[in-house]
Amino acid sequence: MTIAEEFATRNFSIYAQWTGVLAIFLCFALGIANLFHISLLILFSALCLASSFIIVFIEIPLLLRICPTSSNFDAFMRRFTTNYMRAAIYAVMAVVQWLSIIVGASSLIAAAVLLSLVAIFYTLAGVKGQGFVGSKTLGGQGVAQMII
């Protein structure tokens, strides 16, 4: 199934997963860019950078098979297999970035907006009763089993 065919399914979890991939790059870039502030904003940029690595393992399940990780980390990542749990983790990450406004307005607002959008997509998928469907391009549904 190609990416265009995946989007044609009108499943919000596919939209959320691909928006989450965009969030990986945005959080990574903004996390590094804002690390050089001399204020409490460094804490929020470090959390944004950490969020990007968490999102990598949430959205690209193939990496859990390839990368050596601890059993505790694997158990933590397995919690996020449903739309509602994924929406919850993205909502928490978004709230953290929205709280960065308290320190001062910065480009971390863009990360907050995108993380909020992903949380909304996963929530819509859950509300509409759409089961989580992982993108085959990102290592879901059969691709991860080919490695073993």
Over the stretch 57-81, which tens digit does the pLDDT of each residue have? Answer: 888 877 877 888 888 888 888 888 8
- Give the residue extent of every domain in the chain: 10-147
Predicted TM-score (pTM) of this structure: 0.84
Q: Tell me if 81 sits within 8 A of 71, measured CB to CB.
A: no
Query: pLDDT tens digit string along 79-89?
Result: 888 889 999 99
Nearest one of 16, 92, 89, 24 to 55, comparing CA atoms? 24
